[in-house]
Amino acid sequence: MEKYNLRGQEGRVERLIDDLQTSPSRMYDTDSIKYNFDNCECPGCPCCDPDMKWLWPVGAGVLAATTPILVAATAAEIAGK
């Protein structure tokens, strides 16, 4: 745990973190899926990923929109409204 101002929560939070990390319910992602924060600039979106700069299309989108359609369609449904 990084140094964090726990404002009097130290013992309780440390026990919780220990429980979270050892809980049988924890889902263990594979090592190759995890990213190393220190060596990674950003998990990234296609429009600024340096590897994609030449081949991912540039400029698509503004005339229409910025909202992925599935979100617009399902937000209310998920929220159970």
Q: Does residue 47 bind another protein (CB under 8 A)?
A: yes
Is the Cβ–Cβ distance between 47 and 56 less than 8 Å? yes
Q: Please, what is the minimum distance in Å from the beta carbon of residue 8 to another protein? A: 9
Dihedral sign, Cα of residue 52, residue 58, residue 62, residue 63: negative
Q: Does residue 45 bind another protein (CB under 8 A)?
A: yes
Residue 42 in tokens? 């950003």
Count of residues near another protein by CB under 8 A = 68
DSSP three-state, residue 5? coil
Summarize as ranges the residues that interact with another protein (CB under 8 A).
Answer: 1-7, 9, 12-13, 16-17, 19-21, 23-27, 29-30, 32-37, 41-80
